[in-house]
Chain A
Amino acid sequence: NAGVMQNPRHLVRRRGQEARLRCSPMKGHSHVYWYRQLPEEGLKFMVYLQKENIIDESGMPKERFSAEFPKEGPSILRIQQVVRGDSAAYFCASSPPIGAMNTEAFFGQGTRLTVV
């Protein structure tokens, strides 16, 4: 049973380009969470999704950031018109649908985004 898979592991974008980060949850998991770790800072919640639904996006910046988790395929975190301040490690975590309130935290390896 493969763990949470994120790709790419490293992504370099020029200012103004778009960044797409992908997350495939563990098999059987239908809840996905995105977290951001800025340089020298702790992890911060961004968004919580179930299949085809955004449950909590209270941590998402108001502009340029969006997330989806379609019925088929991975969850995508999309950052439009990237700026240098978007450079960070973006982590995805997943959990199963039943008893999701008290489950282990399963994290991917992260995507390190560098904006040049």
Chain B
Amino acid sequence: KNEVEQSPQNLTAQEGEFITINCSYSVGISALHWLQQHPGGGIVSLFMLSSGKKKHGRLIATINIQEKHSSLHITASHPRDSAVYICAVRTKYGNKLVFGAGTILRVKS
């Protein structure tokens, strides 16, 4: 079993829809990151969370430390949101990131 599990693997949405991507992890962490990767592109950090909730524009990220679960929400989705969204955790006893497999999001106009 992977230490970081994401769902769904693939997600197709219509423009304007509310989108949720989930991440569960099984290790102790010091922080959780949500990352975005466009095809053939680099990796951009969207959020770093160690507790609670963060909001940036149409993006919201939450984390429940007790449940070992995080969600990334996109409100009023747009085709330019189409990308791979990756959940990554920084383990408690090391600095390296452990990644989920990613969620491929496609938003249709």
A62–chain B nearest beta-carbon distance, Å: 18
User: Most A CB atoms within 10 A — which of B44, B99, B101?
Assistant: B99
Size of chain A's interface in residues, with CB distance under 8 A?
27
Q: Assess whether B35 is interfacial by the CB under 8 Å rule.
A: yes
Give the B interface residue count (CB, 8 A): 24
Chain A binding surface SS class: strand
Number of A-B contacts (CB under 8 A): 66
Which A45-74 residues sit within 8 Å CB-CB of chain B?
45, 48, 55-56, 59
Contact partner of B94 among A56, A102, A107, CB < 8 A?
A56
- Main DSSP-derived SS at the B contact region: strand
> Are B31 and A43 touching (Cβ within 8 A)?
no
Whether, in the assembled complex, B42 has its beta carbon less than 8 Å from a beta carbon of chain A, the answer is yes
Q: How far is the CA of A76 from the CA of B100 in the complex (A)?
A: 26
- Contact between A101 and B96 (Cβ–Cβ < 8 Å)? no
The distance in angstroms between the C-alpha atoms of A17 and B99, with both chains bound, is 30
Residues in A lying within 8 Å of B, measured CB to CB: 31, 33, 35, 41-45, 48, 55-56, 59, 91, 93, 95, 100-110, 112
Q: A-contacting residues of B (Cβ < 8 Å)?
A: 30-31, 33, 35, 40-45, 48, 50, 86, 88, 90, 94-102
